[in-house]
Amino acid sequence: MPTIKDVARLAGVTVTTVSRVLNNRGYISDATRQKVYQAMEELNYQPNEIARSLHRRKSKLIGLIIPTVSHPFFGELAGFIEYYAHLIGYKVLICNSLLDRKKEKEYIEMLKSNRVDGIIMGSHTLEVEEYMNLNYPIVTFDRRISEEIPYISSDNYGGGKLATHLLIQKGCKKIAHISGNLQLQLLANKRSQAFIELSKEHGIESVIVETDLNVFDITQYEAMIRNLLEKHPDIDGVFASSDVMAAYFIQIGYFLNRRIPEHIKIVGYDDIKLASLFVPPLTTIRQPIEEMAKCAVELIVKQVNEEPFERENVFPVELIERLTT
Amino acid sequence: MPTIKDVARLAGVTVTTVSRVLNNRGYISDATRQKVYQAMEELNYQPNEIARSLHRRKSKLIGLIIPTVSHPFFGELAGFIEYYAHLIGYKVLICNSLLDRKKEKEYIEMLKSNRVDGIIMGSHTLEVEEYMNLNYPIVTFDRRISEEIPYISSDNYGGGKLATHLLIQKGCKKIAHISGNLQLQLLANKRSQAFIELSKEHGIESVIVETDLNVFDITQYEAMIRNLLEKHPDIDGVFASSDVMAAYFIQIGYFLNRRIPEHIKIVGYDDIKLASLFVPPLTTIRQPIEEMAKCAVELIVKQVNEEPFERENVFPVELIERLTT
DNA sequence: TTTTTTATGTCAAACGATTGACATATTGAA
DNA sequence: TTCAATATGTCAATCGTTTGACATAAAAAA
């Protein structure tokens, strides 16, 4: 690979001049500029970003740690994060923690070693202190870690209320809620909280099931749901904490001959792209994934540039009523 | 951030010694080793991988260009690629081209500037020569570019045959095929080819529609499919070139009161995780996504290490018969 | 004509690590 | 006692780029 020296030699100038052209600094005549460009063209020269990063002490890299990009919600989130990062010249290193503590820790070390400019954490299996000692530009999704670290979430409580309220309003008598593991101190737990409070308030019978810590071990979902419906055959309303979980419900309902929405009404959460394609199309609580992604990138950049930023970034949710309610 | 010098100073040794500890070279007494480790611990030192990369001229980075990680197939693919890359100490830079030529080109330049060790191309909107001049360790998905560049694909022709054959065997009289844009010289086009040949061979009426070049502009799918069913209301079998397209079909069928599989049978392609959750669960052609991802990483590594490698990597597909046929 | 402005060059340090060549000192074994 | 193995140090180059300090010369403006 050609270096700046090769370009300088071919253009008949010094590296300083080439660097000036490259970085638009100081005085450069058009003639020289052209010569340099031509030499770069001829050699197919691309400045070595690694060397630049080393010198500038900025890598223009953002680390993204999520459970897995193959989960539709995180896939969409990652897509938007990369989109907005790219717009402003940042690159994205993806890390799929699979919600494994060891992996998550490894990834954090790795990202620091690689001197990424900031880390977006969408997976949190570690203890609060471990994040606090990080001393690095960070943004978290759905988890409040400390007074300093900014976080992004949707209005989980509001979403939980919307969902539960809709079920009640539609006449459900016994409702269930299926959530991720509640031990992972996520803000998403507020969805469950809203569910509990609202059903209590309205005197409606309710039941909650949660996954084990392997939240994304999708194989457990089916057994959980079948179990739930067996134990409580009179459930007529379900609030699922993600659209994927809702999909399981729809399907199991279909196999058990419970018609949706006639026998059981279902509300999901996220509004992934495929939610509208389910049969019947899923009623769900929409998180503004794109806006949240954009915000995450901005929060990193603001920290890098030492600009002021908001610590709490809670995004409004929206009830998307389709045909499962 | 502390440097190797800080560690050396604190441990009371020279940087050479620290480097020896770090890289396990030469003679080091246990006592010194401990001193060094302790100093690193105390300073929370992490070797600067950027400096290392510069010196080693290896970044341990793999660039991954795909249409978008938010598409389930590519999301799953990206997940596995990152998984296998991580296992052997490689990191993954994701790039969502959105099948935009300009973006794709930008990304390639960017990846080269960042001296990634190799590029996995799952998006190909450029001309063959542009890839050939790349002169870089590359692996492509689903496209044969030159005699040198290795590629990975599923047995598209076999898959097309399996799908078409199943429809015919189940008694369909008029079958349709909906595919991505055929101009993008992809190996996936062989699915269509098999469809055409087989239906001709069996004397079965058939019709093909393809998306425009914005293959992932999902909004066009619905109109396309509705259009198709309006023009050809007697279609009783569909082979969709991806599970997502099949999902559209299932749903539109549902809205038009065409029962599946009684009135229309549907076969998808990919076998994304959600395919089994569709209602009814989707019959599809399974691509071994994980194996393909693993192979992609291996092909990059082999090129980096200048080991011999296979140019053609065609993976067998499997018919997964569920309830839409 | 003199002064500025513009255009380029020279030189060298810095970013943070690795590494080779060589020197020196301490052990332990022969 | 002598030699080899072990342990560390010194020094400097290298990876590819940026940048500051300073010098010089030509062109443009005063």
Percent of chain B with pLDDT over 90: 88
Q: Any idea which of A267-276, B68-77, B212-221 has the lowest mean pLDDT?
A: B212-221
**What distance in Å separates the CA atoms of residue A175 and residue A201, rounded to the nearest whole number?**
13
Tokens for A176?
Answer: 């269930």
Q: Closest to B47 (Cβ–Cβ): which among A113, A273, A279?
A: A113
* CB of B77 within 7 Å of some strand D atom: no
Q: What is the pLDDT of residues B31-84, one digit of tens each?
A: 999 999 999 999 999 999 999 999 999 999 999 999 999 999 999 999 999 999
- Please state the length of chain A: 325
Domains of chain B, by residue range, sit at: 4-47, 56-154+290-315, 156-288
* B241–chain A nearest CA distance, Å: 17
Q: Closest to B50 (Cβ–Cβ): which among A50, A76, A278?
A: A50
Q: Report whether B47 contacts A113 (CB < 8 A).
A: yes
* CB of A105 within 7 Å of some strand D atom: no
**What distance in Å separates the CA atoms of residue B101 and residue B52, rounded to the nearest whole number?**
33
| pLDDT band per the 50, 70, 90 thresholds, residue A284 | very high
Q: Do B48 and A54 touch (CB under 8 A)?
A: yes
| pLDDT band per the 50, 70, 90 thresholds, residue B135 | confident
Question: Residues 12-71 of B near strand D (Cβ < 7 Å)?
Answer: 12-17, 20, 26-33, 51, 54-55, 57
* Per-residue pLDDT at B126: 83
For the segment A95-101, the average pLDDT, to the nearest whole number, is: 94
Q: What is the pLDDT of residues A144-203, one digit of tens each?
A: 998 899 999 999 999 999 999 999 999 999 999 999 889 888 999 999 999 999 999 999
For the segment B191-203, the average pLDDT, to the nearest whole number, is: 97
Q: Answer whether A58-153+290-315 and A156-288 agree in fold.
A: yes
* A112–chain B nearest CA distance, Å: 7
**What distance in Å separates the CA atoms of residue A298 and residue A83, rounded to the nearest whole number?**
12
* Per-residue pLDDT at B212: 86
* Per-residue pLDDT at B13: 95
**Closest-CA residue in chain B for A58?**
B50
Output the distance from B50 CA to D15 C1' rounded to whole Å.
Answer: 11
- CATH architecture for the domain at A156-288: 3-Layer(aba) Sandwich (3.40)
Q: What is the pLDDT of residues A222-244, one digit of tens each?
A: 889 999 999 999 999 999 999 99
Q: What is the pLDDT of residues A47-68, one digit of tens each?
A: 999 999 999 999 999 999 999 9
Written out in words, the top-level CATH class of the domain with range A4-47 is: mainly alpha
* Per-residue pLDDT at B142: 94
Q: Any idea which of A95-99, A221-225, B59-63, B206-210 has the lowest mean pLDDT?
A: A221-225
Closest nucleotide over all strands to A31 (CA to C1')? C7
Q: Do B274 and A244 touch (CB under 8 A)?
A: yes
* Per-residue pLDDT at B325: 96
Question: Does the pLDDT of residue B214 top 90, yes or no?
Answer: no
For the segment B299-322, the average pLDDT, to the nearest whole number, is: 97
Q: What order of strands is seen across the sheet that includes strand B283-286?
A: B205-210, B174-179, B237-240, B265-270, B283-286, B318-320
Q: Report whether B66 contacts A78 (CB < 8 A).
A: no
B56-154+290-315 has which fold?
A: Rossmann fold (3.40.50)
* CB of A57 within 7 Å of some strand D atom: no
**H helices within chain A, ranges in order?**
4-11, 15-23, 30-43, 49-56, 72-87, 101-113, 128-132, 156-169, 189-201, 219-231, 243-255, 289-304
> What helix, strand, coil percent values describe chain B, rounded to 5?
45, 20, 35
Written out in words, the top-level CATH class of the domain with range A58-153+290-315 is: alpha beta
